[in-house]
Amino acid sequence: MAADPHLLFDAWFAEAKASEPHDAEAMALATATADGRPSARMVLLKGHDARGFVFYTNLQSRKGEELAANSRAALLFHWKPLGRQVRIEGRIERVTDAEADAYYATRARISRLGAWASDQSRALPERTELERRLADFEAKYPGEDIPRPPHWSGYRVLPERFEFWQNMPFRLHDRTIYTRAANGGWTIGKLYP
Protein backbone atom coordinates (compact mmCIF):
# COMPACT_ATOMS: atom_id res chain seq x y z
CA MET A 1 0.00 0.00 0.00
CA ALA A 2 1.19 3.51 -0.79
CA ALA A 3 2.00 5.65 2.25
CA ASP A 4 0.14 8.57 0.63
CA PRO A 5 -3.49 7.99 -0.41
CA HIS A 6 -3.17 10.58 -3.18
CA LEU A 7 -0.64 8.32 -4.93
CA LEU A 8 -2.97 5.34 -4.69
CA PHE A 9 -5.86 7.48 -5.97
CA ASP A 10 -3.72 8.60 -8.93
CA ALA A 11 -2.96 4.98 -9.84
CA TRP A 12 -6.59 3.85 -9.52
CA PHE A 13 -7.85 6.93 -11.40
CA ALA A 14 -5.44 6.27 -14.28
CA GLU A 15 -6.75 2.70 -14.53
CA ALA A 16 -10.35 3.97 -14.39
CA LYS A 17 -9.76 6.46 -17.20
CA ALA A 18 -8.40 3.59 -19.32
CA SER A 19 -11.31 1.22 -18.60
CA GLU A 20 -14.42 3.30 -17.82
CA PRO A 21 -16.78 3.56 -20.79
CA HIS A 22 -18.19 6.88 -19.49
CA ASP A 23 -16.81 9.67 -17.31
CA ALA A 24 -14.24 8.20 -14.94
CA GLU A 25 -14.35 11.73 -13.46
CA ALA A 26 -17.97 11.30 -12.31
CA MET A 27 -18.29 11.37 -8.54
CA ALA A 28 -21.16 11.49 -6.10
CA LEU A 29 -20.97 14.59 -3.93
CA ALA A 30 -22.74 14.42 -0.57
CA THR A 31 -23.47 17.59 1.37
CA ALA A 32 -25.72 18.41 4.31
CA THR A 33 -27.61 21.38 5.66
CA ALA A 34 -26.53 23.04 8.90
CA ASP A 35 -29.00 20.79 10.77
CA GLY A 36 -27.68 17.64 9.08
CA ARG A 37 -30.19 16.96 6.27
CA PRO A 38 -28.12 15.14 3.63
CA SER A 39 -28.32 15.29 -0.15
CA ALA A 40 -26.21 13.77 -2.89
CA ARG A 41 -25.74 14.33 -6.61
CA MET A 42 -23.27 13.49 -9.35
CA VAL A 43 -20.66 16.08 -10.32
CA LEU A 44 -17.44 15.91 -12.32
CA LEU A 45 -13.94 16.01 -10.89
CA LYS A 46 -12.16 18.91 -12.58
CA GLY A 47 -8.80 18.68 -10.84
CA HIS A 48 -6.99 16.95 -8.02
CA ASP A 49 -3.61 17.20 -6.37
CA ALA A 50 -2.13 16.89 -2.90
CA ARG A 51 -4.39 19.72 -1.70
CA GLY A 52 -7.65 18.04 -2.67
CA PHE A 53 -10.39 17.36 -5.22
CA VAL A 54 -12.00 20.19 -7.22
CA PHE A 55 -15.45 20.60 -8.77
CA TYR A 56 -17.32 23.68 -10.05
CA THR A 57 -20.89 24.85 -9.57
CA ASN A 58 -23.33 27.70 -9.11
CA LEU A 59 -22.69 28.96 -5.57
CA GLN A 60 -26.40 29.71 -5.19
CA SER A 61 -27.42 26.12 -6.03
CA ARG A 62 -28.63 23.73 -3.36
CA LYS A 63 -25.14 22.25 -2.98
CA GLY A 64 -23.60 25.74 -2.82
CA GLU A 65 -26.01 26.79 -0.07
CA GLU A 66 -25.40 23.57 1.85
CA LEU A 67 -21.63 23.99 1.60
CA ALA A 68 -21.95 27.58 2.85
CA ALA A 69 -23.89 26.31 5.88
CA ASN A 70 -21.85 23.15 6.52
CA SER A 71 -18.28 23.12 5.24
CA ARG A 72 -17.92 19.33 5.18
CA ALA A 73 -18.54 17.02 2.23
CA ALA A 74 -18.02 13.48 1.00
CA LEU A 75 -17.14 12.18 -2.45
CA LEU A 76 -17.65 8.73 -3.94
CA PHE A 77 -16.06 7.40 -7.10
CA HIS A 78 -17.49 4.10 -8.36
CA TRP A 79 -15.69 2.34 -11.18
CA LYS A 80 -17.79 -0.76 -11.82
CA PRO A 81 -15.62 -2.30 -14.59
CA LEU A 82 -12.72 -2.36 -12.10
CA GLY A 83 -14.85 -3.38 -9.11
CA ARG A 84 -13.57 -0.38 -7.19
CA GLN A 85 -14.83 2.52 -5.13
CA VAL A 86 -13.01 5.40 -3.49
CA ARG A 87 -14.69 7.35 -0.69
CA ILE A 88 -13.26 10.69 0.40
CA GLU A 89 -14.42 12.82 3.33
CA GLY A 90 -13.21 16.22 4.43
CA ARG A 91 -13.64 19.94 4.79
CA ILE A 92 -14.19 22.16 1.78
CA GLU A 93 -12.72 25.45 0.67
CA ARG A 94 -13.47 27.68 -2.29
CA VAL A 95 -10.95 27.68 -5.12
CA THR A 96 -9.26 30.99 -5.89
CA ASP A 97 -10.81 33.40 -8.39
CA ALA A 98 -7.82 32.76 -10.66
CA GLU A 99 -8.48 29.00 -10.60
CA ALA A 100 -12.20 29.51 -11.28
CA ASP A 101 -11.47 31.96 -14.12
CA ALA A 102 -8.96 29.59 -15.70
CA TYR A 103 -11.33 26.63 -15.66
CA TYR A 104 -14.36 28.71 -16.75
CA ALA A 105 -12.41 29.89 -19.81
CA THR A 106 -11.98 26.24 -20.95
CA ARG A 107 -15.72 25.54 -20.99
CA ALA A 108 -17.72 25.49 -24.20
CA ARG A 109 -19.38 28.80 -25.06
CA ILE A 110 -22.89 27.43 -24.46
CA SER A 111 -21.83 26.13 -21.03
CA ARG A 112 -20.44 29.55 -20.09
CA LEU A 113 -23.69 31.17 -21.20
CA GLY A 114 -25.63 28.54 -19.30
CA ALA A 115 -23.84 29.53 -16.10
CA TRP A 116 -25.46 32.96 -16.52
CA ALA A 117 -28.87 31.73 -17.68
CA SER A 118 -29.54 29.02 -15.11
CA ASP A 119 -30.83 29.79 -11.62
CA GLN A 120 -29.59 26.35 -10.65
CA SER A 121 -31.78 24.44 -8.19
CA ARG A 122 -34.56 27.08 -8.32
CA ALA A 123 -38.08 26.28 -9.55
CA LEU A 124 -38.41 26.59 -13.34
CA PRO A 125 -42.00 27.31 -14.43
CA GLU A 126 -41.40 26.20 -18.03
CA ARG A 127 -38.40 25.09 -20.10
CA THR A 128 -39.07 28.02 -22.43
CA GLU A 129 -38.05 30.37 -19.60
CA LEU A 130 -34.54 28.86 -19.53
CA GLU A 131 -34.35 29.02 -23.32
CA ARG A 132 -35.42 32.70 -23.25
CA ARG A 133 -32.80 33.53 -20.62
CA LEU A 134 -30.14 31.71 -22.64
CA ALA A 135 -31.09 33.71 -25.76
CA ASP A 136 -30.87 36.95 -23.74
CA PHE A 137 -27.33 36.11 -22.61
CA GLU A 138 -26.35 35.02 -26.14
CA ALA A 139 -27.37 38.52 -27.28
CA LYS A 140 -25.57 40.18 -24.37
CA TYR A 141 -22.34 38.21 -25.02
CA PRO A 142 -22.25 37.58 -28.80
CA GLY A 143 -18.58 36.59 -28.97
CA GLU A 144 -16.25 34.36 -27.00
CA ASP A 145 -15.57 36.96 -24.29
CA ILE A 146 -18.04 35.83 -21.63
CA PRO A 147 -17.04 36.78 -18.08
CA ARG A 148 -17.42 34.30 -15.26
CA PRO A 149 -20.58 35.05 -13.26
CA PRO A 150 -19.89 36.15 -9.67
CA HIS A 151 -22.16 33.32 -8.44
CA TRP A 152 -20.16 30.59 -10.23
CA SER A 153 -16.95 29.12 -8.82
CA GLY A 154 -15.40 25.95 -7.51
CA TYR A 155 -14.80 24.03 -4.33
CA ARG A 156 -11.93 21.87 -3.19
CA VAL A 157 -12.58 18.93 -0.85
CA LEU A 158 -9.62 18.73 1.56
CA PRO A 159 -9.38 15.03 2.40
CA GLU A 160 -9.29 13.89 6.00
CA ARG A 161 -10.25 10.30 5.24
CA PHE A 162 -10.02 8.00 2.22
CA GLU A 163 -11.44 4.53 1.80
CA PHE A 164 -10.27 2.36 -1.08
CA TRP A 165 -12.71 -0.50 -1.71
CA GLN A 166 -11.84 -3.41 -3.98
CA ASN A 167 -14.45 -5.98 -4.95
CA MET A 168 -13.42 -9.52 -4.00
CA PRO A 169 -15.08 -12.93 -4.47
CA PHE A 170 -17.86 -13.98 -2.10
CA ARG A 171 -18.33 -10.38 -0.87
CA LEU A 172 -15.04 -10.59 1.09
CA HIS A 173 -14.06 -7.17 -0.22
CA ASP A 174 -10.77 -5.46 0.56
CA ARG A 175 -11.20 -2.11 2.33
CA THR A 176 -8.23 0.13 3.12
CA ILE A 177 -8.65 3.39 5.00
CA TYR A 178 -6.34 6.36 5.32
CA THR A 179 -7.04 8.85 8.10
CA ARG A 180 -5.27 12.21 8.39
CA ALA A 181 -2.97 12.14 11.43
CA ALA A 182 -2.32 15.08 13.75
CA ASN A 183 1.19 15.49 12.28
CA GLY A 184 -0.24 15.88 8.76
CA GLY A 185 0.66 12.36 7.64
CA TRP A 186 -1.69 9.43 7.23
CA THR A 187 -2.56 6.41 9.34
CA ILE A 188 -3.45 3.32 7.32
CA GLY A 189 -5.83 0.57 8.36
CA LYS A 190 -8.19 -2.11 7.13
CA LEU A 191 -11.94 -2.54 7.62
CA TYR A 192 -13.99 -5.71 7.64
CA PRO A 193 -15.98 -6.07 4.40
Condensed to tens digits (0 to 9), the pLDDT of residues 68-118 reads: 999 999 999 999 999 999 999 999 999 999 999 999 999 999 999 999 999
User: Average pLDDT over the chain, rounded to whole?
Assistant: 96
Q: Is 147 helix (H, G, I), strand (E, B) or coil?
A: coil
2 pLDDT exceeds 90?
no
Task: State the CATH number of the domain containing residue 78.
Answer: 2.30.110.10
pLDDT of residue 165: 98
Residue 18 CB neighbours (<10 A): 10
18 pLDDT exceeds 90?
yes
pLDDT of residue 64: 97
171 labelled catalytic: yes
pLDDT classification of 21: cutoffs 50, 70, 90: confident
Rounded mean pLDDT, 28-43: 97
Phi, psi of 11 (to 5 degrees): -65, -45
The residues pairing with 73 across neighbouring beta strands, listed in sequence order, are 90
Domain that holds residue 40: 5-191
Q: Looking at the 3D structure of the chain, how many domains does it have?
A: 1
**pLDDT, tens digit (0-9, with 9 covering 90-100), for 118-174:** 999 989 999 999 999 999 999 999 999 999 999 999 999 999 999 999 999 999 999
pTM assigned to the model: 0.94
Q: Cα 47 to chain center, whole Å?
A: 9
CA angle 140, 143, 146 (to 5 degrees): 65
1 pLDDT exceeds 80?
no
Active-site residue, from 84, 107, 171, 175: 171
